[in-house]
Amino acid sequence: MLQEAINHYHAILSDEALARATHEALTTGQREQNLFFGERPLASVLRPRFLTGAQYDLLRSGVGAVAAALQRLGDALLADPSLRAGIALTAQEEALITRDPGYPHHSAHSRMDTFLTLDGSSLQFVEYNGESPAAIAYEDVLSELFATLPAMRVFAERYTCTPLPARRRLLDTLLDAWHGSGGSGLPRIAILDWHGLPTRSEFLLFQRYFYEHGIEAVICSPDDLATRDGRLVATRFDAAEPTGATEFPIDLVYKRVLTSELLTRYGAEALDHPLIRAYSAGAVCMVNSFRAKLLHKKAIFALLTDDALQDLFTSAERAAIAAHVPWTRLVRAGQTTYQGAIVDLLAFARRERERLVLKPNDEYGGKGVVIGWETTPADWDRALAEALQAPSILQERVTIAYEAYPAMIDGTLQIGRRLVDSDPFVFGTDVQGCLCRLSTVTLLNVTAGGGSTTPVFIVAQGATA
């Protein structure tokens, strides 16, 4: 049914006038809604990602089981410093995880980056963004826009398309954390990240959404924070409405800034930063907390797939890990296991280059990723040597998902094959909503400059009511 639905959508676009009208409506809508990543429109294709109900159920069950395993693993990491050595926390990160944030999940909201094939036969995870997952607001508003496109209106005459909004779940997660940590009423929120980022357009979408729900929210940078009588305040900020206030008292930080960047920016003085002082004193609620760092490191997949740690997990969690999480190891000299056999890790990495990927342990946006099957043996050896100097992981190649997508290129409709990832948003251990990114190159990441975003809909036969 899914391939038939996709074929029907593409057939609709064979009407040149309708295809052009769809492209123009998408272009205009993105401009009006500020759906841009920096200077680039989020969506450059004319079709959303379609999933069947069964595929979405597979995402929800598989991701949910692994998320539950990650929570157990996070508990074990907190209790065992020797186990934490396996994710290579820095000394400052060790200091930050000591405080209980006041709510139960190490990552209150997160995102699992996966490849789900068109036929649903393969679902494999490649990364877990446990710290500051982006794109929830982008996907919600893109879904609203796509639902109005001319091609989608014609498509809805034969198929039902159900969007997967997640902004409400994110807001509920923030409020649950606020109340769980002892807050009452509605908090005053700071959306926190650096100035001048391409994601600012999403911060504005969230700020408007919070405002529509009666919540004051400002956008500010860590450079703008101070403490006044023990309370965290923003001394410079962008408010939803004009204000003469010179300071904004903060109850809850919606933390989009990465901990690694925060620590790098302020160096040896980082632990004395107003945000960290207020958090450590329990003067502010922060989502996600610094404990999300336990799960955000890419080496977390090395612990999930470590034969010696499988007793931490339930049978259902072990089955999900085996089915969906690729073999991963922190790069270091010595022996490890692969498919039950003992191997020398570096010798194995050199021998099996064409089935492996190298990734920095704590980067994003595709930075530093080396794809073995697209790299010469000499360059791979150099990358391995560099990986021994800074925490990095080796990960086994997964089955990549591909689909055909239509785009208007130089005034002509073209339908071409693209890599497709499916990245469900996770709240605690529950999935709600999904990011989809498309690319014509192997390194599938919008931050890295390659590709398009498109919203995700559940599709079923029968016209939309």
| pLDDT per residue as tens digits for the range 224-252 | 999 999 999 999 999 999 888 999 999 99
At 446 the pLDDT is 40
Which residues are CB-contacts of 325 (< 8 A; sequence separation ≥ 6)? Answer: 66, 124, 125, 301, 304, 305
Last residue within a domain, chosen from 396, 416, 440: 396
Which residues form the domain of 254? 2-297+401-461
Q: What is the pTM of this model?
A: 0.93
Examine the fold and report which residue of 371, 396, 421 is the final residue of a domain before the chain moves on.
396
With respect to residue 302, please indicate whether it lies within any of the assigned structural domains: no
- What confidence tens digit (pLDDT) does each residue in 83-114 have? 999 999 999 999 999 999 999 899 999 999 99
Same domain, 115 and 225: yes
Strand, coil or helix: 459: strand
Tell which phi-psi region holds residue 13, choosing left (phi > 0), alpha (psi between -120 and 50) or beta: alpha
Q: Are residues 151 and 109 in the same domain?
A: yes
pLDDT tens string 44-89: 999 999 999 999 999 999 999 999 999 999 999 999 999 999 999 9
- Do 454 and 368 fall within a single domain? no
Average pLDDT over residues 371-396: 93
Same domain, 293 and 335: no
| Per-residue H/E/C for 237-254 | CEECCCCCCCCEECCEEE
More confident residue, 116 or 443: 116
Whole-angstrom Cα distance, residue 162 to residue 159? Answer: 10
Residues 215 and 358 in one domain: no
Task: Check whether residue 236 and residue 368 sit in a common domain.
Answer: no
Residue where a domain stops, chosen among 366, 396, 426: 396
- Exposed, middle or buried, 34 (CB in 10 Å: 0-12/13-18/19+)? middle
Q: What is the CATH number of the domain that holds 332?
A: 3.30.1490
Number of structural domains (the chain) is 2
User: What angle do the packed helices 200-212 and 167-180 form, to 10 degrees?
Assistant: 70
Give yes or no: residues 340 and 206 share one domain: no
Residues 73, 92 within the same domain: yes
Position 73 in a domain? yes
pLDDT at 443: 53
Both 29 and 138 in one domain: the answer is: yes
Tell whether 157 and 194 lie within a shared domain: yes
Neighbours of 180 (CB within 10 A): 15
Helix (H, G, I), strand (E, B) or coil at 432: strand
Note whether 227 and 346 are same-domain residues: no
Query: Is 310 part of any domain?
Result: no
In a domain, 321, yes or no: no
Mean of pLDDT values over 146-169: 97
The answer on 420 and 385 residing in a single domain is no
